Amino acid sequence: MILRAEIFLKGLRFPESPRWHDNKLWFSDIDARKVMTVDMNGKAEIIVKTPAFPSGLGWLPDNKLLIVSVNDKRLLRLDPDGLVEFADLSEIGTHWYNDMCVDTQGRAYIGNMGYDLWNDPFVPAEIVLVTPDGNARVVVDNMAFPNGTVITPDEKTLIVGETMKGCLTAFDIEEDGSLTGRRIWSKVKSPDGICLDADGGIWVASPGTGKVLHVLEGGKITHKFKVSTNQQPYACMLGGSDRCTLFIATSQHNRRGGCIETIKVDVPGAGFP
């Protein structure tokens, strides 16, 4: 039996990049150009409005928020006085930036689309590493739209969804942040946002199937959850007091009617983000 998630928060446009942090769910409402939070009582709050589309979120060791600014190709930091540019990525990545995962050292791994998905032929993309001092460099190239990204609790392995290749790809994280040992972790259809659980499984938002899938290394799918009618899942995150609430960011194909949906699972979240 395929279970169905329930709507938790409505009235959004295109929510993405959910993160569980400080007892709240944080997320970007991309088309509304807002970063928001919602607590377990359903109380939502706008944290900051952004000049361009926001996507990936993460935190520096001093708890300052980092925000991927998609279409102006920057990484922003939220200071007490407002947003500042943390890194200019305009001369590095092939196309617009997207999701991000930040480790405990404040190293940010950011994927990009590679090409205009709606108008242009496929072009491979890169993963860019931004270090805590704001320096940026390419650490992986020839990726098929690197999208949702997780880092294991020991911070030794990074796993990223290659949306246009239909797989999760793993790398070893070296001491300087470089990524080596590229390998297929599992095949899975149209992976978008992902999150990791304490047993090492990965929840995958799969807009190509209309479901959220729980995948083990090697490709075994153990669970499938449907989302609400006419919605597609674009990202997911484990949170709540026990980290066993799966939050799912959904929207319609026209990037309207965005929601956060939830369903309870048995294994808590782990790792990063």
Per-residue confidence band for 179, with pLDDT thresholds at 50, 70 and 90: very high
Give whole-number Cα distances, 228 to 87, 194, 196, in Å: 38, 19, 23
- DSSP 3-state of 201: coil
**Residue ranges of the alpha helices (H) in the chain?**
none
Per-residue confidence band for 1, with pLDDT thresholds at 50, 70 and 90: low
The least confident of 25-39, 103-117, 130-144, 256-270 is 103-117
- DSSP 3-state of 224: strand
Q: Residue 229 has what pLDDT?
A: 74
pLDDT (tens digit per residue) in 196-208: 999 999 999 999 8
Sign of CA dihedral 185, 200, 14, 261: positive
CA 248 to chain centre: 11
Q: Residue 142 has what pLDDT?
A: 96
- DSSP 3-state of 51: coil
272: number of Cβ within 10 Å: 21
Q: Residue 3 has what pLDDT?
A: 76
Q: Residue 206 has what pLDDT?
A: 96
Percentage of the chain with pLDDT > 90? 88
Is the omega angle on the peptide bond into residue 273 within 30 degrees of 0, that is, cis? yes
Per-residue confidence band for 174, with pLDDT thresholds at 50, 70 and 90: very high
- The one-letter amino acid code at 159 reads I
Average pLDDT, the chain: 95
Residue ranges of domains in the chain, CATH in brackets: 3-264 (2.120.10.30)
Q: Is the pLDDT of residue 2 over 80?
A: no
pLDDT (tens digit per residue) in 208-264: 899 999 999 999 999 999 998 779 999 999 999 999 999 999 998 777 889 999 999
Q: Is the pLDDT of residue 120 over 80?
A: no
Average pLDDT over residues 21-28: 98
Average pLDDT over residues 8-12: 96
Average pLDDT over residues 169-189: 98
pLDDT (tens digit per residue) in 135-169: 999 999 999 999 999 999 999 999 999 999 999 99
